[in-house]
Chains A and B, each alone.
Chain A
Amino acid sequence: MRRSTAAVLGTLAGVGMIFGVRMAAPTQVVPVAEDAPAEAPADAPAEPDQGDEAAPDEEPAPDEEPADGGAGGGLTDGEFRGTGSKYAYGTIQVTITVKDGKVSAADATYPTGGDSATINPPAIEALNESALNAESADDLDAVSGATLTTGAYRKSLQAALDKAQG
């Protein structure tokens, strides 16, 4: 089976379109690095709920470095919680674990109620309610998300998948 993958970028008006086609081997697993927090972690474990310091509407700007090994040595071991980045509808807060002077894990927390629009949805019988999962993008062909502009595409999971496939 031959495959061809193309990622077409730029406005569909043909301005600066980047266009690549390549035959690819079967999809490989894409390791997607977790983003480190935008803010430098505090020197000591921070209190939870420090969510109001960032400007409203600020998105958590991803650090370019992958969490595993991206940060060099010299860090203090322990668990650190970044300042929450508050944006339109909630606060995202990233906690990193430093072991042997390197970042060994990063976890993000999301709003779980109370700090965004209060809603009372009607009794929904035909829909199942569950906790929101956050899974890695291993083993996916594509990602569906709200409209990606070309700028957003460059940082997206879809871009990583396209790269991995050729």
Chain B
Amino acid sequence: MGTAVSIELAADRPDDELRSLIADVCGWLHEVDARFSTYREDSEVSRMGRGELTSTDCHPDLRHVLGACADLWRATDGYFDAYAGGVLDPSGYVKGWAVEEASRRLAAAGCHTHYIGAGGDIRARGDRVWRIGVRHPWDETKVAWKLAVTDAAVATSGTYERGGHVINPRTGKPAHVLRSVTVVGPDLTLADAYATAALAMDGEGLRYLEKLATDGYESAAVTSDGRAFTSAGLPVAS
């Protein structure tokens, strides 16, 4: 995937335990990469794409991901599409899911206060306030919003990172109306998928974000002509 991951644990524990927790997270992320990477010929996703593996023979995690992608495809009116590029590519689901799962495992191991950031998507939780910036969509040295959360996921999709095209499945072309969409909510898997879907919707994206707020997913979006929109409950830092 070539994704950078940052992990911060705030726990009153000996160094070696913290190191071991981080090693567990890294082990899990490598396992996910080996199974789901579209850049590896031998991953289960690549093999399934070539028809060499069926959903009955694959790992239960891949079955879960395929089912979840199908659910999201229906829930987003086809805008979240693991087959948007013509071949199976569930990466848009896998990253958020892998980090959400890593966070769940850390909490289960007694490490309640932590954050994990992977490629710009963040899962933070615990007994402290985490201050999370939303990258300014034209200036990589600035932030457009500062958020304050204690237990939340923050996911951003944007058109400004080169090579990070999100295709609008209706037009077959890269989305261009919204430049950046950030979704904040209880689960990173969904927050990430919703942000990607809203971006893919082009002109309909803002209306979709409006609806998400009723499900507990707040949002911040910037249009390609530089206008900023936020939902009423966005946890902006004071």
A: residues with CB less than 8 A from B are: 1-14, 17, 19, 21, 23, 32-35, 57, 59, 62, 88-90, 92, 108, 110-122, 124-137, 139-153, 155-159, 161-162, 165
Contact = CB atoms under 8 A, between A and B. Distances in A.
Interface stretch (B47-55, B71-79, B81-89, B203-211): B203-211
B121 to A, nearest CB: 7
Contact of B158 (A113, A139, A146, A155): A146
B231 A137 contact: no
Contacts of B11: 2, 4
A135 B137 CA distance: 12
Interface of B: 1-13, 15, 18-19, 22, 26, 29-30, 32-34, 37, 39-40, 95, 115, 117, 119-122, 124, 130-146, 154-164, 176-177, 179-180, 182, 203, 206-207, 209-210, 213, 219, 221-232
Contacts of B177: 117, 119
B133 A150 contact: no
Q: Can you list the 5 inter-chain pairs with the closest CB atoms, starting with the nearest?
A: A146-B158, A145-B135, A153-B4, A12-B33, A145-B120
A139 B131 contact: yes
B interface SS class: mixed
A2 B13 contact: yes
A62 B119 CA distance: 20
Contact of B115 (A110, A120, A141, A152): A141
A interface SS class: loop
21 contacts: A2-B18, A3-B9, A5-B8, A11-B2, A12-B33, A34-B141, A90-B224, A114-B225, A118-B225, A124-B210, A132-B222, A132-B228, A139-B146, A140-B133, A144-B135, A147-B95, A148-B120, A149-B4, A149-B163, A157-B135, A165-B8
B228 A112 contact: no
B7 A135 contact: no
A149 B179 CA distance: 18
A119 B223 contact: yes
Contacts of B160: 88-89, 146
A35 B141 contact: yes
A4 B227 contact: no
Contacts of A132: 136-137, 144, 222, 226-228
B206 A12 contact: no
Nearest to A57: B162
Contact of A144 (B37, B134, B221, B224): B134
A144 B120 contact: yes
